[in-house]
């Protein structure tokens, strides 16, 4: 006969060998649960294919599914509530079905063939279309621009540059400052109708100035970035945020964002992060405080980030420049996450567990991770804090399903309930 296999290959046998195979550990037995006399007597009047079906004995032969229709060709079925079913077969009556509570435990038998499994795996590997890593030249340029221009100051904080398009290496934006100033007055007028929002806004901007995240501009620009506010009362920390609109058009119909490159996507899929997060019995959540603003912008690029602001209406409107990575610019998300990856590269050898978290368990500025015991979780928390501190970052808004993770933290580091 001809022997065929996967891929329609055929081979002719050279001969026939008659042999007997035995397991090394002895004969295999069909495991049978102890049956009550009630079940045995229930079927003793039938002409059973195996009269000792309730006794564990060696397996005589295994028949394939292709013989099913032949074996079960006869009519006849006896079924009673609380008992297995008796089915009439070619060999006689066979007992099939569960024995419910009469069985003390459940056992399963899995029959497989390892050689076939290996062959199938090889087959699918051959048929699988391999992934092709196509490098986007623009994204490659942004990555190389970051590598060649970033540096760290004396405190360890990162300093980055804006990745302008290749045809805009010396960008010049036309006039929009009058419209931007008009937009500022409109925002100020609107906030004056809501004293609470006005106070939150001025506090936000005052902190910006106090932390040196912005400073008074030495020269005036023809292009000034307008901004607006977003209030979120549900936030436990920042109730109001300022959003900068770098997509505002100048007099020639171009914006700052039009001249910038966004860079490759570094953000992990949130579903993957959450699936990983749910694996841990002890979880840790934390927020990288003011993540974007902990990354300095190269002084030569700060001239592109001018805004208007004044602390009160009896003061003149002043032009400031933003000194850090700014939310609202096209490459800001890339720059922020790329800095974290650079921190892993620069400091990761001393913080192996924290490095893994920063590579895989972060969504924007939120860390979602965990551990398998309390001690491991506390060590991971401390390691994350120490590693991020090396780059000028700090963790706040800690939360966990285990109070031991939070007990020794300062109150202002814990997420308010």
Cα atoms found within 13 Å of the Cα of residue 135, Cβ hemisphere only: 6
Quick one: CA torsion of 34, 36, 42, 47, rounded to 10 degrees?
30
DSSP state, residue 246: T
Q: What is the pTM of this model?
A: 0.67
Quick one: the chain helix, strand, coil %, rounded to 5? 35, 20, 45
Q: Are 393 and 156 in contact (CB under 8 A)?
A: no
Q: What is the pLDDT of residue 337?
A: 96
Q: What is the pLDDT of residue 100?
A: 58
User: Is the C-alpha dihedral spanning 198, 204, 209, 214 positive or negative?
Assistant: negative
Q: What is the pLDDT of residue 71?
A: 75
CA–CA dist 37, 333 (Å, integer): 73
Q: What is the pLDDT along the chain (417 residues), one digit of tens a residue?
A: 676 665 556 677 778 777 776 655 566 555 556 677 778 887 888 888 887 777 777 767 767 666 777 777 666 777 777 788 888 887 888 888 776 544 444 444 454 455 555 655 665 655 555 555 667 899 999 999 999 999 999 999 999 999 999 877 777 888 889 999 999 999 999 999 999 999 999 999 999 999 999 999 998 888 999 999 998 877 766 788 899 999 999 888 899 999 999 999 999 899 999 999 999 999 999 999 999 999 999 999 999 999 999 999 999 999 999 999 998 999 999 999 999 999 999 999 999 999 999 999 999 999 999 999 999 999 999 999 999 999 999 999 999 999 999 999 999 899 876
Q: What is the pLDDT of residue 102?
A: 46
**Element of type H or E holding 296:** strand 296-297
Name the burial class of residue 415, with classes exposed (0-12), middle (13-18) and buried (19+) by CB atoms within 10 angstroms of its CB: middle
- DSSP string of 117-155? HHHHHHHHHHHSPPP--PPPHHHHHHHHHHHHH-EE-TT
Smallest CA-to-CA distance from 285 within 380, 376, 392 is with: 380
Q: Are 184 and 224 in contact (CB under 8 A)?
A: no
CA–CA dist 358, 356 (Å, integer): 6
Residue spans per domain, the chain:
23-108, 141-413
> CB neighbours of 116 closer than 8 A, spacing ≥ 6?
none
User: Rounded to the nearest 10 degrees, what angle do helices 137-149 and 332-347 cross at?
Assistant: 60
Phi, psi of 368 (to 5 degrees): -130, 100
Q: Are 247 and 257 in contact (CB under 8 A)?
A: yes
Q: Parallel, antiparallel, or unpaired: how do β-strands 158-160 and 296-297 relate? A: parallel
- Level-2 CATH architecture, domain 141-413: Roll (3.10)
**Residue 367 bridge partners (DSSP):** 286, 362
Q: Are 405 and 369 in contact (CB under 8 A)?
A: no
**Residue 85 bridge partners (DSSP):** 96
> CB neighbours of 294 closer than 8 A, spacing ≥ 6?
157, 288, 324, 391, 392, 393, 394
Both tokens assigned to 364? 């924007």
DSSP state, residue 269: P
Name the burial class of residue 239, with classes exposed (0-12), middle (13-18) and buried (19+) by CB atoms within 10 angstroms of its CB: middle
Q: What is the pLDDT of residue 105?
A: 47
DSSP state, residue 361: S
């Amino acid at each position: 006969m001809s022997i065929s296999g996967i891929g329609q290959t055929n081979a002719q046998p050279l001969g026939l060998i008659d042999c007997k195979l035995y397991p090394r550990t002895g004969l295999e037995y069909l495991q049978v649960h102890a049956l009550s006399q009630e079940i045995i007597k229930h079927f003793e009047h039938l002409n059973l294919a195996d009269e000792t079906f309730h006794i564990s004995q060696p397996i005589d032969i295994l028949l394939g599914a292709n013989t099913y229709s032949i074996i079960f060709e006869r009519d006849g079925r006896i079924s009673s509530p609380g008992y297995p079913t008796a089915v009439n077969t070619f060999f006689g009556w066979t007992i099939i079905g569960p024995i419910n509570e009469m069985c003390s435990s459940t056992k399963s038998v899995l029959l497989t063939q390892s050689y076939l499994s290996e062959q199938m795996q090889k087959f699918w590997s051959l048929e699988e279309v391999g992934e092709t890593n196509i490098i986007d030249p623009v994204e490659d340029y942004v990555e190389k621009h970051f590598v060649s221009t970033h540096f760290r100051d004396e405190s360890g904080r990162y300093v980055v540059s804006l990745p302008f398009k290749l045809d805009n290496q010396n960008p010049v934006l036309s006039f929009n400052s009058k419209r931007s100033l008009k937009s500022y007055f409109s925002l100020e007028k609107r906030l004056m109708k809501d004293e609470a929002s006005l106070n939150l806004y001025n506090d936000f901007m005052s902190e910006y100035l106090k932390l040196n995240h912005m400073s008074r501009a030495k020269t005036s620009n023809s292009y000034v970035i307008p901004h607006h506010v977003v209030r979120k009362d549900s936030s436990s920390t920042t109730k109001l945020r300022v959003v900068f609109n770098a997509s505002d058009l100048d007099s020639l119909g171009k914006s700052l964002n039009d001249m910038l490159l966004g860079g490759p996507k570094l953000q992990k899929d949130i579903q993957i992060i959450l699936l990983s997060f749910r694996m841990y019995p002890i979880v840790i959540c934390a927020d990288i405080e003011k993540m974007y603003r902990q990354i300095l912008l190269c002084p030569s690029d700060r001239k592109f980030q001018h805004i208007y602001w004044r602390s009160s209406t009896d003061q003149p409107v002043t032009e400031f420049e933003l000194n850090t990575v700014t939310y609202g610019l096209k490459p800001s998300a890339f720059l922020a996450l790329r800095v974290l990856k650079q921190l892993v590269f620069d400091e990761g050898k001393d913080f192996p567990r924290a490095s893994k978290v920063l590579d895989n368990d972060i969504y924007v500025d939120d860390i979602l991770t965990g551990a398998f015991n309390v001690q491991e979780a506390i060590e991971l928390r401390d390691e994350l804090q120490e590693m991020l501190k090396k780059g000028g970052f700090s963790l706040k808004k800690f939360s966990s399903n285990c109070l031991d993770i939070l007990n020794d933290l300062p109150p202002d580091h814990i997420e308010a309930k």
